[in-house]
Amino acid sequence: MKKFIRLAIAVVLVAGAVSVQAEDKKADPKKDAKEAKAKPYPLKNCVVSDEAFGGDMGEPFVFTYKGQEMKLCCKNCKKDFDKDPEKFIKKMKVEEKKAAKK
């Protein structure tokens, strides 16, 4: 009887752990919706380093910041971006306006 109780407890614990893991793996619809609505990155170069995409650095590092898709030439530029993101958002908008006038 003690073995049966221990086995039953073990089954309940394992089932609970599996259930918790399954919940963690579910997609967050709010997060997915925010990323899906992100405004596309308007520039052809990195807003931090001014490097063109697709050069020696390879594919750009892409992420979303406050509903705006951001592309940087490499992951290392993200550290600089994170120090003062609003500075780079402002720079991006200025560069976007310059490009639109051309």
Dump the DSSP string for 22-62.
Answer: HHHHS--HHHHHHHHTPBPP--SB-TTT-PBTTSTT-SPEE
Average pLDDT over residues 96-102: 84
**What is the per-residue pLDDT for 100?**
85
Model confidence, pTM: 0.62
Contacts of 70 (CB under 8 A, 6+ apart): 41, 47, 62, 63, 64, 81, 88, 92
- The span from the CA of 34 to the CA of 82, in Å, is 20
How high does pLDDT run on average in the chain?
80
**What is the per-residue pLDDT for 8?**
61
Residues 77, 49 contacting (CB under 8 angstroms): yes
Average pLDDT over residues 23-33: 52
Residues 34, 64 contacting (CB under 8 angstroms): yes
Higher-pLDDT residue of 24 and 99 is: 99
